[in-house]
């Protein structure tokens, strides 16, 4: 039987070793706990940072989605605007073509119905003008329509009734021969005579030929817009004239377009007279 050579000290040695092992275990356990806490803290910190980054990315993604939706909406708006403008351009083109066709038709109709040695038709800058020499319209120095002048006015009125969108300026012109003394009590100068003749034509068109007075204006230029040389009798004859200028709708000022009147308003004045 083997016995320890130090039976009285062995239990002290074993106890010391057991105590030392316990301390080592506690130290290891503490170290492991500290390491676990450190790792847990690092994981928590990393996870929080990760969550924050995810949150930032989500916010950015939501912003991009919002921008995309706004861009799509703006693109749709632009497409709608383009479609609207395209339709407007097409409509205006049709109106232009119709206006051009109407203008050609009106010009052709006037030439076939009116043009003669004493009545000429001209077109300049979109304005169609009927020039009527004064011997057809008035006696010398007078502003009362002659029967032949009334016939011409009725033909013009009949044509204009078919084109109610057009405005008409009736313009009086004279030569440069001064008003004779016997007529100066009525017409102080050729200006007054030219305006009176234009007004006589306007009154006939509105009161006896049925043209809407809101479409008409009367202007007198006297001797100051000649079309021929006043030095000759032939030139003066050409200068004594009534010009009826027809304005297409696009050349009419917007504040001059006819406005519908209540049915009770029947006493409408004829077109205004302007002396220039």
pLDDT at 262: 40
- Taking 90 as the threshold, does the pLDDT of residue 131 lie above it? yes
- Taking 80 as the threshold, does the pLDDT of residue 219 lie above it? yes
Candidates 3.20.20.70, 3.30.1330.60, 3.40.50.2300, 3.40.47.10; CATH matching 103-275: 3.30.1330.60
Is pTM, for the whole model, over 0.75? no
- Residue of 274, 275, 173, 276 lying closest to 228 (CA atoms): 173
pLDDT at 267: 38
Q: Please report, in angstroms and rounded to a whole number, the separation of the first and last CA atoms in the chain.
A: 156
Q: Which residue has the higher pLDDT, 80 or 272?
A: 80
Q: Report helix, strand or coil for 2.
A: coil
**What is the tens place of the pLDDT at every residue in 86-124?**
888 877 776 666 555 555 788 888 899 999 999 999 988
pLDDT at 259: 46
Quickly state the pLDDT bin for 166 (edges 50, 70, 90): confident
- Taking 50 as the threshold, does the pLDDT of residue 273 lie above it? no
pLDDT at 268: 35
The answer to whether the CB of 153 falls within 8 A of the CB of 204 is: yes
Q: Could you give the CA distance from residue 45 to residue 77 in angstroms, rounded to a whole number?
A: 48
pLDDT at 90: 78
Q: Count CA within 13 A, CB hemisphere, residue 266.
A: 1
- Taking 60 as the threshold, does the pLDDT of residue 265 lie above it? no
Average pLDDT, the chain: 81
What average pLDDT does range 24-34 have in this prediction? 79
pLDDT at 82: 92
What is the SS3 assignment for 58-89?
Answer: HHHHHHHHHHHHHHHHHHHHHHHHHHHHHHHH
What average pLDDT does range 177-203 have in this prediction? 95
What average pLDDT does range 28-54 have in this prediction? 77
């Amino acid at each position: 039987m083997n016995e320890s050579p130090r039976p009285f000290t062995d239990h002290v040695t074993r106890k010391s070793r057991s105590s030392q092992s316990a301390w080592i275990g506690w130290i290891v356990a503490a170290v492991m706990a500290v390491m676990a806490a450190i790792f847990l803290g690092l994981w928590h910190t990393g996870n929080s940072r990760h969550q924050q980054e995810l949150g930032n990315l989500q916010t950015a993604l939501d912003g991009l989605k919002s921008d995309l939706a706004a861009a799509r909406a703006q693109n749709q708006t632009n497409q709608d605007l383009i479609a609207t403008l395209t339709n407007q351009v097409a409509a205006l083109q049709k109106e232009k073509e119709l206006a051009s066709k109407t203008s050609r038709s009106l010009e052709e109709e006037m030439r076939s119905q009116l043009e003669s040695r004493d009545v000429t038709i001209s077109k300049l800058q979109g304005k169609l003008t009927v020039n009527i020499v004064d011997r057809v319209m008035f006696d010398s120095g007078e502003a009362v329509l002659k029967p032949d002048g009334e016939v011409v006015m009725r033909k013009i009125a009949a044509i204009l009734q078919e084109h109610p969108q057009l405005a008409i300026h009736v313009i009086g012109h004279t030569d440069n021969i001064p008003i004779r003394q016997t007529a100066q009590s009525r017409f102080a100068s050729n200006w007054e005579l030219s305006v009176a003749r234009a007004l006589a034509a306007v009154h006939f068109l509105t009161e006896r030929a049925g043209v809407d007075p809101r479409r008409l204006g009367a202007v007198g230029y006297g001797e100051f817009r000649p079309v021929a040389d006043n030095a000759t009798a032939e030139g003066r004859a050409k200068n004594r004239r009534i010009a009826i200028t027809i304005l297409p709708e696009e050349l009419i000022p917007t504040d001059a377009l006819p406005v519908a009147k209540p049915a009770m308003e029947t006493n409408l004045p004829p077109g205004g007279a302007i002396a220039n």
